[in-house]
Structure 1
Protein backbone atom coordinates (compact mmCIF):
# COMPACT_ATOMS: atom_id res chain seq x y z
CA UNK A 1 0.00 0.00 0.00
CA UNK A 2 1.56 3.30 -1.11
CA UNK A 3 1.08 6.36 1.04
CA UNK A 4 2.37 9.77 2.01
CA UNK A 5 3.05 11.85 5.08
CA UNK A 6 0.56 14.53 6.15
CA UNK A 7 1.87 17.41 8.26
CA UNK A 8 -0.68 17.95 11.07
CA UNK A 9 1.31 20.65 12.90
CA UNK A 10 3.74 20.74 15.84
CA UNK A 11 6.29 18.77 13.79
CA UNK A 12 3.98 15.74 13.70
CA UNK A 13 3.58 13.81 10.47
CA UNK A 14 0.90 11.18 9.95
CA UNK A 15 1.32 8.43 7.36
CA UNK A 16 -1.82 8.14 5.25
CA UNK A 17 -3.05 6.63 2.01
CA UNK A 18 -5.96 6.99 -0.38
CA UNK A 19 -7.06 4.34 -2.87
CA UNK A 20 -10.05 3.84 -5.13
CA UNK A 21 -12.61 6.27 -6.47
CA UNK A 22 -16.06 7.22 -5.21
CA UNK A 23 -17.53 8.27 -1.86
CA UNK A 24 -14.86 8.32 0.85
CA UNK A 25 -14.61 5.79 3.67
CA UNK A 26 -12.15 6.62 6.47
CA UNK A 27 -10.72 3.64 8.37
CA UNK A 28 -9.55 4.35 11.95
CA UNK A 29 -7.51 1.50 13.40
CA UNK A 30 -7.08 0.18 16.93
CA UNK A 31 -4.38 0.85 19.51
CA UNK A 32 -0.96 0.05 18.06
CA UNK A 33 -2.45 -1.03 14.72
CA UNK A 34 -0.58 0.21 11.63
CA UNK A 35 -2.74 1.23 8.68
CA UNK A 36 -1.34 -1.62 6.58
CA UNK A 37 -2.97 -4.13 8.94
CA UNK A 38 -6.38 -3.31 7.46
CA UNK A 39 -5.37 -5.28 4.37
CA UNK A 40 -5.55 -8.54 6.34
CA UNK A 41 -9.25 -7.92 7.03
CA UNK A 42 -10.03 -7.67 3.33
CA UNK A 43 -12.04 -4.52 4.03
CA UNK A 44 -10.09 -1.98 1.93
CA UNK A 45 -10.22 -4.20 -1.16
CA UNK A 46 -13.92 -4.95 -0.63
CA UNK A 47 -14.76 -1.26 -0.32
CA UNK A 48 -12.70 -0.25 -3.37
CA UNK A 49 -14.39 -3.01 -5.37
CA UNK A 50 -17.75 -1.67 -4.20
CA UNK A 51 -16.97 1.76 -5.62
CA UNK A 52 -15.55 3.63 -2.64
CA UNK A 53 -12.45 5.69 -2.04
CA UNK A 54 -10.68 4.32 1.06
CA UNK A 55 -8.54 6.56 3.28
CA UNK A 56 -6.36 4.93 5.94
CA UNK A 57 -3.75 6.33 8.31
CA UNK A 58 -1.38 5.23 11.06
CA UNK A 59 -2.24 7.20 14.19
CA UNK A 60 0.38 9.25 16.02
CA UNK A 61 2.76 6.91 17.80
CA UNK A 62 2.30 4.05 15.34
CA UNK A 63 5.07 3.52 12.78
CA UNK A 64 5.80 5.16 10.45
CA UNK A 65 3.91 8.20 11.80
CA UNK A 66 5.54 10.59 14.27
CA UNK A 67 5.49 9.97 18.02
CA UNK A 68 5.43 13.25 19.91
CA UNK A 69 5.98 13.05 23.68
CA UNK A 70 3.15 11.47 25.68
CA UNK A 71 0.45 11.93 26.77
CA UNK A 72 -2.03 12.00 23.89
CA UNK A 73 -5.81 12.19 24.03
CA UNK A 74 -8.39 10.48 21.85
CA UNK A 75 -9.29 13.94 20.56
CA UNK A 76 -5.64 14.59 19.62
CA UNK A 77 -5.69 11.47 17.47
CA UNK A 78 -9.09 12.39 16.02
CA UNK A 79 -7.74 15.84 15.13
CA UNK A 80 -4.95 14.12 13.19
CA UNK A 81 -7.57 12.09 11.31
CA UNK A 82 -9.44 15.31 10.52
CA UNK A 83 -6.23 16.79 9.10
CA UNK A 84 -5.79 13.69 6.94
CA UNK A 85 -9.32 14.08 5.55
CA UNK A 86 -8.72 17.75 4.87
CA UNK A 87 -5.43 16.91 3.16
CA UNK A 88 -7.27 14.62 0.76
CA UNK A 89 -9.94 17.31 0.26
CA UNK A 90 -12.71 15.20 1.79
CA UNK A 91 -15.82 17.08 2.88
CA UNK A 92 -18.08 14.08 3.46
CA UNK A 93 -17.15 10.58 4.59
CA UNK A 94 -18.34 7.31 6.00
CA UNK A 95 -16.25 6.57 9.09
CA UNK A 96 -15.28 3.06 10.18
CA UNK A 97 -13.55 2.40 13.50
CA UNK A 98 -12.12 -0.79 14.91
CA UNK A 99 -11.31 -1.23 18.62
CA UNK A 100 -9.80 2.06 19.85
CA UNK A 101 -10.61 3.41 16.40
CA UNK A 102 -14.22 3.51 17.58
CA UNK A 103 -13.21 6.09 20.20
CA UNK A 104 -11.48 8.14 17.53
CA UNK A 105 -14.48 7.90 15.23
CA UNK A 106 -16.76 9.31 17.91
CA UNK A 107 -14.33 12.13 18.76
CA UNK A 108 -14.12 13.03 15.07
CA UNK A 109 -17.59 14.56 15.35
CA UNK A 110 -16.10 17.12 17.76
CA UNK A 111 -13.06 18.15 15.72
CA UNK A 112 -13.86 17.77 12.01
CA UNK A 113 -15.75 20.36 10.00
CA UNK A 114 -16.93 17.84 7.40
CA UNK A 115 -20.01 15.62 7.33
CA UNK A 116 -20.09 12.04 8.61
CA UNK A 117 -22.60 10.23 6.33
CA UNK A 118 -22.46 7.00 8.29
CA UNK A 119 -20.57 5.41 11.15
CA UNK A 120 -19.52 1.78 11.62
CA UNK A 121 -17.97 0.74 14.93
CA UNK A 122 -16.47 -2.74 15.08
CA UNK A 123 -15.33 -4.43 18.29
CA UNK A 124 -14.86 -1.22 20.23
CA UNK A 125 -17.99 0.53 21.45
CA UNK A 126 -18.15 -0.27 25.18
CA UNK A 127 -14.95 -1.39 26.90
CA UNK A 128 -14.70 -3.83 29.80
CA UNK A 129 -13.04 -3.70 33.20
CA UNK A 130 -10.47 -6.09 31.75
CA UNK A 131 -9.54 -3.46 29.15
CA UNK A 132 -9.13 -0.85 31.87
CA UNK A 133 -6.97 -3.18 33.98
CA UNK A 134 -4.76 -4.04 31.00
CA UNK A 135 -4.18 -0.35 30.24
CA UNK A 136 -3.37 0.33 33.90
CA UNK A 137 -0.83 -2.48 33.88
CA UNK A 138 0.80 -1.25 30.68
CA UNK A 139 1.04 2.32 31.94
CA UNK A 140 2.60 1.17 35.20
CA UNK A 141 5.19 -0.88 33.31
CA UNK A 142 5.96 2.03 31.00
CA UNK A 143 6.41 4.38 33.91
CA UNK A 144 8.51 1.97 36.02
CA UNK A 145 10.49 0.08 33.35
CA UNK A 146 10.33 2.46 30.42
CA UNK A 147 8.79 -0.24 28.22
CA UNK A 148 6.25 -3.08 28.15
CA UNK A 149 8.07 -6.42 28.01
CA UNK A 150 7.36 -8.38 24.88
CA UNK A 151 6.19 -11.39 26.89
CA UNK A 152 3.52 -9.25 28.56
CA UNK A 153 2.23 -7.91 25.23
CA UNK A 154 2.20 -11.43 23.80
CA UNK A 155 0.20 -12.79 26.72
CA UNK A 156 -2.35 -9.97 26.41
CA UNK A 157 -2.80 -10.66 22.71
CA UNK A 158 -3.08 -14.42 23.17
CA UNK A 159 -5.76 -14.02 25.83
CA UNK A 160 -7.87 -11.54 23.87
CA UNK A 161 -7.47 -11.79 20.09
CA UNK A 162 -8.27 -15.48 19.37
CA UNK A 163 -11.59 -17.15 20.13
CA UNK A 164 -12.20 -19.24 23.23
CA UNK A 165 -12.17 -22.40 21.10
CA UNK A 166 -8.69 -21.64 19.80
CA UNK A 167 -7.39 -21.00 23.31
CA UNK A 168 -8.44 -24.53 24.30
CA UNK A 169 -6.33 -26.04 21.50
CA UNK A 170 -2.64 -25.96 22.46
CA UNK A 171 -1.39 -26.57 18.92
CA UNK A 172 -3.38 -23.59 17.65
CA UNK A 173 -2.16 -21.44 20.56
CA UNK A 174 1.43 -22.28 19.57
CA UNK A 175 0.69 -21.20 16.00
CA UNK A 176 -0.87 -17.97 17.22
CA UNK A 177 2.13 -17.34 19.43
CA UNK A 178 4.46 -17.55 16.44
CA UNK A 179 2.21 -15.35 14.32
CA UNK A 180 1.68 -12.66 16.95
CA UNK A 181 5.37 -12.55 17.81
CA UNK A 182 6.25 -11.93 14.19
CA UNK A 183 3.51 -9.33 13.62
CA UNK A 184 4.34 -7.26 16.73
CA UNK A 185 7.77 -6.16 15.51
CA UNK A 186 8.25 -2.48 14.63
CA UNK A 187 4.66 -1.48 15.47
CA UNK A 188 5.55 1.56 17.56
CA UNK A 189 7.49 4.59 16.37
CA UNK A 190 8.98 4.82 19.87
CA UNK A 191 8.14 4.17 23.52
CA UNK A 192 6.56 7.64 23.51
CA UNK A 193 4.12 6.37 20.90
CA UNK A 194 3.09 3.35 22.95
CA UNK A 195 2.82 5.45 26.11
CA UNK A 196 0.80 8.15 24.36
CA UNK A 197 -1.71 5.80 22.74
CA UNK A 198 -2.13 3.71 25.89
CA UNK A 199 -2.76 6.85 27.96
CA UNK A 200 -5.35 8.05 25.42
CA UNK A 201 -7.16 4.71 25.60
CA UNK A 202 -7.03 4.58 29.39
CA UNK A 203 -8.29 8.13 29.87
CA UNK A 204 -11.25 7.54 27.53
CA UNK A 205 -12.32 4.49 29.52
CA UNK A 206 -11.59 6.06 32.91
CA UNK A 207 -13.85 9.00 32.08
CA UNK A 208 -16.76 6.66 31.35
CA UNK A 209 -16.76 7.21 27.61
CA UNK A 210 -18.76 6.88 25.57
CA UNK A 211 -21.40 8.56 27.72
CA UNK A 212 -25.08 8.09 27.01
CA UNK A 213 -25.19 11.74 25.96
CA UNK A 214 -22.40 11.26 23.41
CA UNK A 215 -24.11 8.19 21.98
CA UNK A 216 -27.49 9.95 21.78
CA UNK A 217 -25.88 12.75 19.76
CA UNK A 218 -24.87 10.34 16.96
CA UNK A 219 -27.70 10.87 14.49
CA UNK A 220 -26.21 9.45 11.28
CA UNK A 221 -26.90 5.84 10.23
CA UNK A 222 -24.72 3.63 12.44
CA UNK A 223 -23.63 0.00 12.45
CA UNK A 224 -22.26 -1.55 15.65
CA UNK A 225 -20.55 -4.94 15.40
CA UNK A 226 -19.62 -7.04 18.42
CA UNK A 227 -17.69 -10.30 18.70
CA UNK A 228 -19.01 -13.14 20.84
CA UNK A 229 -15.68 -14.00 22.52
CA UNK A 230 -14.38 -10.43 22.87
CA UNK A 231 -12.97 -9.85 26.39
CA UNK A 232 -11.97 -6.23 25.76
CA UNK A 233 -15.35 -5.17 24.39
CA UNK A 234 -17.99 -7.69 25.53
CA UNK A 235 -20.81 -8.00 23.02
CA UNK A 236 -23.55 -7.52 25.63
CA UNK A 237 -22.04 -4.21 26.75
CA UNK A 238 -21.59 -2.92 23.21
CA UNK A 239 -25.14 -3.93 22.32
CA UNK A 240 -26.47 -2.01 25.32
CA UNK A 241 -24.43 1.05 24.33
CA UNK A 242 -25.71 0.79 20.76
CA UNK A 243 -29.27 1.01 22.07
CA UNK A 244 -28.61 4.67 22.96
CA UNK A 245 -27.72 5.60 19.36
CA UNK A 246 -30.91 6.77 17.63
CA UNK A 247 -30.27 5.27 14.18
CA UNK A 248 -28.13 2.22 14.96
CA UNK A 249 -28.25 -1.39 13.90
CA UNK A 250 -26.52 -4.12 15.89
CA UNK A 251 -24.71 -7.21 14.60
CA UNK A 252 -23.20 -10.03 16.68
CA UNK A 253 -20.45 -12.08 15.05
CA UNK A 254 -20.26 -15.14 17.27
CA UNK A 255 -17.38 -17.54 17.82
CA UNK A 256 -14.53 -15.03 17.42
CA UNK A 257 -12.50 -12.92 19.84
CA UNK A 258 -11.39 -9.31 19.72
CA UNK A 259 -9.37 -10.00 16.57
CA UNK A 260 -12.50 -11.06 14.70
CA UNK A 261 -12.26 -8.30 12.12
CA UNK A 262 -8.96 -9.66 10.87
CA UNK A 263 -8.99 -13.33 11.83
CA UNK A 264 -12.59 -14.41 11.18
CA UNK A 265 -12.39 -16.80 8.21
CA UNK A 266 -16.04 -16.05 7.39
CA UNK A 267 -15.34 -12.29 7.08
CA UNK A 268 -18.59 -11.54 8.93
CA UNK A 269 -17.62 -8.03 10.03
CA UNK A 270 -15.98 -7.13 6.70
CA UNK A 271 -19.06 -8.17 4.73
CA UNK A 272 -21.39 -6.35 7.13
CA UNK A 273 -19.44 -3.10 6.98
CA UNK A 274 -19.23 -3.24 3.17
CA UNK A 275 -22.98 -3.86 2.89
CA UNK A 276 -23.68 -1.03 5.33
CA UNK A 277 -21.61 1.42 3.29
CA UNK A 278 -23.32 0.38 0.07
CA UNK A 279 -26.73 1.25 1.50
CA UNK A 280 -25.80 4.81 2.40
Structure 2
Protein backbone atom coordinates (compact mmCIF):
# COMPACT_ATOMS: atom_id res chain seq x y z
CA UNK A 1 0.00 0.00 0.00
CA UNK A 2 1.31 3.44 -0.94
CA UNK A 3 0.21 6.85 0.28
CA UNK A 4 -1.34 8.99 -2.45
CA UNK A 5 -1.88 12.70 -1.81
CA UNK A 6 -4.90 14.05 -3.64
CA UNK A 7 -5.29 17.58 -4.97
CA UNK A 8 -7.59 18.31 -2.01
CA UNK A 9 -4.76 17.60 0.44
CA UNK A 10 -6.34 14.33 1.61
CA UNK A 11 -3.94 11.38 1.68
CA UNK A 12 -5.23 7.89 0.96
CA UNK A 13 -3.50 4.57 1.51
CA UNK A 14 -3.88 2.91 -1.90
CA UNK A 15 -3.15 -0.49 -3.40
CA UNK A 16 -3.10 -1.08 -7.16
CA UNK A 17 -2.37 -4.52 -8.58
CA UNK A 18 -2.79 -6.26 -11.91
CA UNK A 19 -3.03 -4.98 -15.45
CA UNK A 20 -5.98 -4.32 -17.72
CA UNK A 21 -9.28 -2.45 -17.36
CA UNK A 22 -9.66 -0.73 -14.00
CA UNK A 23 -11.86 -1.91 -11.16
CA UNK A 24 -12.26 0.39 -8.14
CA UNK A 25 -13.28 -1.11 -4.80
CA UNK A 26 -15.20 1.12 -2.36
CA UNK A 27 -15.20 -0.48 1.10
CA UNK A 28 -17.67 -0.29 3.95
CA UNK A 29 -17.57 1.70 7.18
CA UNK A 30 -14.25 0.99 8.90
CA UNK A 31 -13.33 -1.61 6.28
CA UNK A 32 -9.62 -1.73 5.39
CA UNK A 33 -8.62 -2.50 1.81
CA UNK A 34 -6.99 -5.71 3.03
CA UNK A 35 -10.44 -7.32 3.36
CA UNK A 36 -10.79 -7.38 -0.43
CA UNK A 37 -7.65 -9.50 -0.60
CA UNK A 38 -8.65 -11.78 2.26
CA UNK A 39 -12.00 -12.64 0.67
CA UNK A 40 -10.28 -13.44 -2.62
CA UNK A 41 -11.89 -10.80 -4.82
CA UNK A 42 -8.69 -8.91 -5.62
CA UNK A 43 -6.80 -12.01 -6.73
CA UNK A 44 -9.75 -13.30 -8.75
CA UNK A 45 -10.09 -10.00 -10.62
CA UNK A 46 -6.37 -9.78 -11.30
CA UNK A 47 -6.38 -13.35 -12.60
CA UNK A 48 -9.26 -12.36 -14.89
CA UNK A 49 -7.18 -9.57 -16.42
CA UNK A 50 -8.16 -6.49 -14.47
CA UNK A 51 -6.23 -3.72 -12.72
CA UNK A 52 -7.67 -3.51 -9.20
CA UNK A 53 -7.55 -0.34 -7.09
CA UNK A 54 -8.45 -0.54 -3.41
CA UNK A 55 -7.88 2.03 -0.67
CA UNK A 56 -8.47 2.88 2.96
CA UNK A 57 -11.08 5.62 2.99
CA UNK A 58 -10.51 8.86 4.88
CA UNK A 59 -10.44 8.18 8.59
CA UNK A 60 -8.73 4.79 8.35
CA UNK A 61 -4.98 4.59 8.90
CA UNK A 62 -2.75 5.31 7.00
CA UNK A 63 -5.19 7.66 5.24
CA UNK A 64 -5.94 11.18 6.46
CA UNK A 65 -8.50 11.74 9.21
CA UNK A 66 -9.68 15.34 8.88
CA UNK A 67 -12.02 16.70 11.55
CA UNK A 68 -15.48 15.12 11.65
CA UNK A 69 -18.17 15.15 10.40
CA UNK A 70 -17.71 13.72 6.91
CA UNK A 71 -20.34 13.31 4.22
CA UNK A 72 -20.82 10.60 1.63
CA UNK A 73 -20.18 13.31 -0.97
CA UNK A 74 -16.80 13.98 0.68
CA UNK A 75 -15.88 10.32 0.48
CA UNK A 76 -17.11 10.02 -3.10
CA UNK A 77 -15.00 13.06 -3.95
CA UNK A 78 -11.95 11.26 -2.57
CA UNK A 79 -12.65 8.23 -4.78
CA UNK A 80 -13.18 10.40 -7.85
CA UNK A 81 -9.99 12.35 -7.14
CA UNK A 82 -8.10 9.08 -6.75
CA UNK A 83 -9.17 7.90 -10.20
CA UNK A 84 -8.22 11.29 -11.65
CA UNK A 85 -4.83 11.12 -9.91
CA UNK A 86 -4.19 7.67 -11.38
CA UNK A 87 -5.19 8.85 -14.84
CA UNK A 88 -8.18 6.49 -15.01
CA UNK A 89 -11.01 7.86 -17.13
CA UNK A 90 -13.37 4.90 -16.78
CA UNK A 91 -13.70 2.04 -14.27
CA UNK A 92 -16.03 -0.64 -13.06
CA UNK A 93 -16.83 0.35 -9.47
CA UNK A 94 -17.72 -2.14 -6.75
CA UNK A 95 -19.20 -0.90 -3.48
CA UNK A 96 -19.68 -2.93 -0.31
CA UNK A 97 -21.99 -1.76 2.52
CA UNK A 98 -21.34 1.99 2.97
CA UNK A 99 -19.24 1.75 -0.18
CA UNK A 100 -22.56 1.43 -2.03
CA UNK A 101 -23.48 4.91 -0.80
CA UNK A 102 -20.14 6.25 -2.03
CA UNK A 103 -20.60 4.56 -5.38
CA UNK A 104 -24.10 5.99 -5.83
CA UNK A 105 -22.80 9.47 -4.98
CA UNK A 106 -20.08 9.07 -7.61
CA UNK A 107 -22.74 8.14 -10.16
CA UNK A 108 -24.48 11.44 -9.48
CA UNK A 109 -21.43 13.69 -9.66
CA UNK A 110 -19.03 11.88 -12.03
CA UNK A 111 -21.02 9.37 -14.08
CA UNK A 112 -18.37 9.62 -16.79
CA UNK A 113 -15.97 7.68 -14.57
CA UNK A 114 -18.15 4.57 -14.14
CA UNK A 115 -18.96 2.06 -16.89
CA UNK A 116 -20.64 -0.57 -14.69
CA UNK A 117 -21.19 -1.09 -10.98
CA UNK A 118 -21.75 -3.73 -8.33
CA UNK A 119 -23.74 -2.69 -5.24
CA UNK A 120 -23.00 -5.39 -2.67
CA UNK A 121 -24.71 -5.69 0.74
CA UNK A 122 -25.48 -2.00 0.89
CA UNK A 123 -28.24 -0.88 -1.47
CA UNK A 124 -31.28 -0.46 0.78
CA UNK A 125 -30.60 0.33 4.47
CA UNK A 126 -32.96 -1.14 7.06
CA UNK A 127 -34.39 0.51 10.20
CA UNK A 128 -31.87 -1.58 12.17
CA UNK A 129 -29.02 0.26 10.48
CA UNK A 130 -30.58 3.60 11.33
CA UNK A 131 -31.10 2.59 14.97
CA UNK A 132 -27.51 1.40 15.34
CA UNK A 133 -26.18 4.61 13.82
CA UNK A 134 -28.38 6.74 16.07
CA UNK A 135 -27.22 4.78 19.13
CA UNK A 136 -23.53 5.10 18.26
CA UNK A 137 -23.69 8.82 17.54
CA UNK A 138 -25.69 9.34 20.75
CA UNK A 139 -23.04 7.57 22.81
CA UNK A 140 -20.26 9.64 21.27
CA UNK A 141 -22.17 12.85 21.99
CA UNK A 142 -22.99 11.82 25.58
CA UNK A 143 -19.76 10.20 26.78
CA UNK A 144 -17.28 11.00 24.02
CA UNK A 145 -16.82 7.42 22.78
CA UNK A 146 -18.47 4.07 22.18
CA UNK A 147 -17.42 1.54 24.82
CA UNK A 148 -15.47 -1.37 23.36
CA UNK A 149 -17.93 -3.92 24.76
CA UNK A 150 -20.80 -2.19 22.97
CA UNK A 151 -18.91 -2.22 19.67
CA UNK A 152 -18.00 -5.87 20.00
CA UNK A 153 -21.59 -6.88 20.80
CA UNK A 154 -22.99 -4.85 17.92
CA UNK A 155 -20.45 -6.24 15.46
CA UNK A 156 -21.10 -9.80 16.58
CA UNK A 157 -24.87 -9.45 16.24
CA UNK A 158 -24.70 -7.90 12.76
CA UNK A 159 -21.66 -9.61 11.25
CA UNK A 160 -22.64 -13.20 12.05
CA UNK A 161 -25.91 -14.84 11.08
CA UNK A 162 -28.17 -16.75 13.47
CA UNK A 163 -26.59 -20.19 13.04
CA UNK A 164 -23.12 -18.86 13.79
CA UNK A 165 -24.39 -16.86 16.76
CA UNK A 166 -25.74 -20.09 18.26
CA UNK A 167 -22.30 -21.73 18.15
CA UNK A 168 -20.35 -20.88 21.35
CA UNK A 169 -16.92 -21.56 19.83
CA UNK A 170 -17.59 -19.29 16.84
CA UNK A 171 -18.91 -16.49 19.04
CA UNK A 172 -15.93 -16.77 21.39
CA UNK A 173 -13.47 -16.67 18.52
CA UNK A 174 -15.03 -13.64 16.90
CA UNK A 175 -15.42 -11.92 20.29
CA UNK A 176 -11.70 -12.33 20.94
CA UNK A 177 -10.81 -11.15 17.45
CA UNK A 178 -13.00 -8.06 17.64
CA UNK A 179 -11.91 -7.23 21.18
CA UNK A 180 -8.24 -7.31 20.19
CA UNK A 181 -8.71 -4.91 17.27
CA UNK A 182 -8.34 -1.15 17.56
CA UNK A 183 -10.39 -0.74 14.40
CA UNK A 184 -7.49 0.68 12.41
CA UNK A 185 -8.78 4.24 12.78
CA UNK A 186 -6.32 7.05 12.18
CA UNK A 187 -7.94 9.04 15.00
CA UNK A 188 -11.27 9.29 16.85
CA UNK A 189 -12.33 11.79 14.18
CA UNK A 190 -11.95 9.06 11.57
CA UNK A 191 -14.51 6.80 13.22
CA UNK A 192 -16.91 9.64 14.00
CA UNK A 193 -16.48 11.05 10.51
CA UNK A 194 -17.37 7.85 8.68
CA UNK A 195 -20.19 7.11 11.11
CA UNK A 196 -21.80 10.52 10.64
CA UNK A 197 -21.50 10.22 6.86
CA UNK A 198 -23.29 6.87 6.90
CA UNK A 199 -26.01 8.02 9.30
CA UNK A 200 -26.69 11.20 7.32
CA UNK A 201 -27.21 9.15 4.16
CA UNK A 202 -29.71 6.85 5.87
CA UNK A 203 -31.47 9.74 7.63
CA UNK A 204 -31.99 11.48 4.29
CA UNK A 205 -34.05 8.52 3.10
CA UNK A 206 -31.47 7.40 0.59
CA UNK A 207 -31.44 5.92 -1.90
CA UNK A 208 -34.19 8.05 -3.43
CA UNK A 209 -36.22 6.52 -6.31
CA UNK A 210 -35.48 9.42 -8.64
CA UNK A 211 -31.75 8.90 -8.22
CA UNK A 212 -32.02 5.17 -8.81
CA UNK A 213 -34.03 5.74 -11.99
CA UNK A 214 -31.14 7.76 -13.44
CA UNK A 215 -28.57 4.98 -13.10
CA UNK A 216 -28.17 4.05 -16.76
CA UNK A 217 -25.24 1.62 -16.64
CA UNK A 218 -25.13 -2.15 -16.05
CA UNK A 219 -25.66 -2.75 -12.32
CA UNK A 220 -25.38 -5.93 -10.28
CA UNK A 221 -27.03 -5.86 -6.85
CA UNK A 222 -26.04 -8.54 -4.35
CA UNK A 223 -27.53 -9.13 -0.90
CA UNK A 224 -26.81 -11.66 1.86
CA UNK A 225 -29.69 -13.84 2.98
CA UNK A 226 -29.45 -12.97 6.70
CA UNK A 227 -28.24 -9.36 6.46
CA UNK A 228 -29.88 -7.27 9.20
CA UNK A 229 -28.55 -3.99 7.81
CA UNK A 230 -29.51 -4.58 4.16
CA UNK A 231 -32.15 -7.35 3.96
CA UNK A 232 -32.42 -9.08 0.59
CA UNK A 233 -36.16 -8.52 0.19
CA UNK A 234 -35.93 -4.74 0.36
CA UNK A 235 -32.71 -4.73 -1.68
CA UNK A 236 -34.44 -6.74 -4.40
CA UNK A 237 -37.36 -4.29 -4.46
CA UNK A 238 -35.02 -1.31 -4.61
CA UNK A 239 -32.89 -2.91 -7.34
CA UNK A 240 -36.02 -3.11 -9.49
CA UNK A 241 -35.99 0.72 -9.62
CA UNK A 242 -32.59 0.69 -11.36
CA UNK A 243 -32.77 0.23 -15.14
CA UNK A 244 -30.47 -2.49 -16.54
CA UNK A 245 -29.95 -4.02 -13.10
CA UNK A 246 -29.74 -7.64 -12.00
CA UNK A 247 -30.23 -8.93 -8.46
CA UNK A 248 -28.89 -12.02 -6.70
CA UNK A 249 -29.20 -13.27 -3.14
CA UNK A 250 -26.18 -14.91 -1.52
CA UNK A 251 -27.48 -17.57 0.85
CA UNK A 252 -26.20 -18.63 4.25
CA UNK A 253 -24.56 -15.42 5.47
CA UNK A 254 -25.23 -12.21 7.40
CA UNK A 255 -23.85 -8.74 6.75
CA UNK A 256 -20.32 -9.94 7.40
CA UNK A 257 -20.57 -12.62 4.76
CA UNK A 258 -17.62 -11.16 2.91
CA UNK A 259 -15.53 -12.49 5.81
CA UNK A 260 -17.55 -15.49 7.00
CA UNK A 261 -19.00 -17.04 3.85
CA UNK A 262 -19.06 -15.16 0.56
CA UNK A 263 -20.75 -18.07 -1.22
CA UNK A 264 -20.53 -17.57 -4.97
CA UNK A 265 -20.41 -13.78 -4.73
CA UNK A 266 -16.80 -13.58 -5.93
CA UNK A 267 -17.59 -15.68 -9.00
CA UNK A 268 -20.67 -13.56 -9.74
CA UNK A 269 -18.73 -10.30 -9.46
CA UNK A 270 -15.86 -11.50 -11.66
CA UNK A 271 -18.27 -12.79 -14.30
CA UNK A 272 -20.11 -9.44 -14.27
CA UNK A 273 -16.84 -7.54 -14.69
CA UNK A 274 -15.77 -9.77 -17.58
CA UNK A 275 -19.16 -9.27 -19.25
CA UNK A 276 -18.75 -5.50 -18.98
CA UNK A 277 -15.03 -5.34 -19.78
CA UNK A 278 -15.41 -4.01 -23.32
TM-score, normalisation: structure 1: 0.95
Contact in 2 for aligned 1:122/1:269 (Cα 8 Å) = no
1:22 and 1:123 map into 2 onto residues whose CA distance is: 26
Deviation at 1:164, TM superposition (A): 1.2
Structure 2 distance, partners of 1:36, 1:14, is 14
Query: Which residue, 255, 262, 265 being the options, matches 1:269?
Result: 265
In structure 1, the partner of 2:204 is: 207
Please tell me whether the aligned partners of residues 27 and 55 of structure 1 are also in contact (alpha carbons under 8 angstroms).
yes
Deviations 1:45-99 (A, max 9, x none): 1000000000111111111111111111101000000011111100010000000
Give the deviation of 1:185 after TM superposition: 2.0
Partner of 2:3: 4
Given that residues 79 and 112 in structure 1 are in contact (C-alpha distance below 8 angstroms), is that contact kept between their aligned partners in structure 2? Answer: no
Query: Hey, what's the Cα distance between the residues in 1 that align with 2:141 and 2:29?
Result: 18
| Alpha-carbon distance change, 264 to 222 in structure 1, aligned in 2, over 3 angstroms | same
Question: Structure 2 CA distance, aligned partners of 1:142 and 1:22?
Answer: 44
Of 64, 67, 71, 1:66 maps to 64
Q: Which runs of 5+ in 2 are unaligned?
A: none
| Aligned equivalents of 1:88, 1:264: Cα separation in 2 | 33
CA gap 1:186/1:262 in 2 versus in 1, 3 angstroms: closer
Contact map agreement 2:39 2:262 (CA 8 A) in 1: no
Task: Identify which of 123, 129, 133 aligns with 1:135.
Answer: 133
For residues 114 and 203 of structure 2, what CA distance do their matches in structure 1 show? 26
Q: CA deviation at 1:113?
A: 6.3
**Cα 1:185–1:262 shift into 2, 3 Å:** same
Per-residue CA deviation, residues 106-146 of structure 1 (Å, 9 max, x unaligned), is: 00123336331111011000011110010011111111222
Q: Which residue of 2 aligns with 1:257?
A: 254
Q: CA RMSD in A?
A: 1.3
* Corresponding residue to 1:144 among 119, 129, 142: 142
- For 2:128, what is the secondary structure of its paired residue? helix
Please list, as runs of the form range in 1=range in 2, the aligned pairs for 1:41-60 lying within 5 A after superposition: 41-60=39-58
Q: TM-score, normalised by structure 2?
A: 0.96
Unaligned stretches of 5+ residues in structure 1: none
Deviates more, 1:112-121 or 1:253-262: 112-121
**How far is 1:206 from its partner?**
0.5
